[in-house]
């Protein structure tokens, strides 16, 4: 069964500090991995999307890494700001095979709180 596990479930850090969020997946065959930021009560917003051949991808202060061999990804946030407080969701896509199954597997997210 395809699964995406994220850790930690929640994290509190001080403003200006760095942090790293983890994502482990068992989705197969792998197509791509996405990180989304979801502010409370708002829709998820895409941060990065990585395919099998990409190891690192950055979007401003957000840097995602992917190790397709170990099926792990991380999202590193540098010099955190109060506006980074949100849930961060890892989503893994399987290779499209047609049929009726959903090809996206969502993690439950890491709830990040930045304290002043």
Partner 1 sequence: DSGVTQTPKHLITATGQRVTLRCSPRSGDLSVYWYQQSLDQGLQFLIQYYNGEERAKGNILERFSAQQFPDLHSELNLSSLELGDSALYFCASSEFRSYTGELFFGEGSRLTVL
DSSP string, 76-113: EE-S--GGG-EEEEEEEEEPP--SSS--EEE---EEEE
Q: DSSP secondary-structure letter at 50?
A: E
From the list 12, 45, 79, 82, which residue makes contact with partner 1 (rule: CB under 8 A)? 45
Q: Is the peptide bond before 29 cis (omega within 30 degrees of 0)?
A: yes
Residue whose CB is less far from partner 1, 100 or 116: 100
From the list 43, 53, 83, 116, which residue makes contact with partner 1 (rule: CB under 8 A)? 43
User: Which x/- pattern over 55-84 shows residues binding partner 1 (rule: CB under 8 A)?
Assistant: ------------------------------
What gap in Å lies between CA 111 and CA 9, rounded to an integer?
Answer: 6
From the list 52, 58, 108, 113, which residue makes contact with partner 1 (rule: CB under 8 A)? 108
**First-to-last CA distance in the chain?**
41
| Residues in contact with partner 1 by the rule CB under 8 A | 31-32, 34, 36, 41-46, 49, 89, 93-94, 96, 99-104, 106-109
């Amino acid at each position: 069964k395809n699964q995406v596990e994220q850790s930690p479930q929640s994290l509190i850090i001080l403003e200006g500090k760095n942090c790293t969020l983890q994502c482990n997946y068992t989705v197969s065959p792998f197509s791509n991995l996405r990180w989304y930021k979801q502010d409370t009560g708002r829709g998820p917003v895409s941060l990065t999307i990585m395919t099998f051949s990409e190891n690192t991808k950055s979007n401003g202060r957000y840097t995602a890494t992917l190790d397709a061999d170990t099926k792990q990804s991380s999202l590193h946030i540098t010099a955190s700001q109060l506006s980074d407080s949100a849930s961060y969701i890892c989503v893994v896509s399987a290779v499209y095979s047609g049929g009726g199954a959903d090809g996206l597997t969502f993690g439950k997210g890491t709830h990040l709180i930045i304290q002043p």
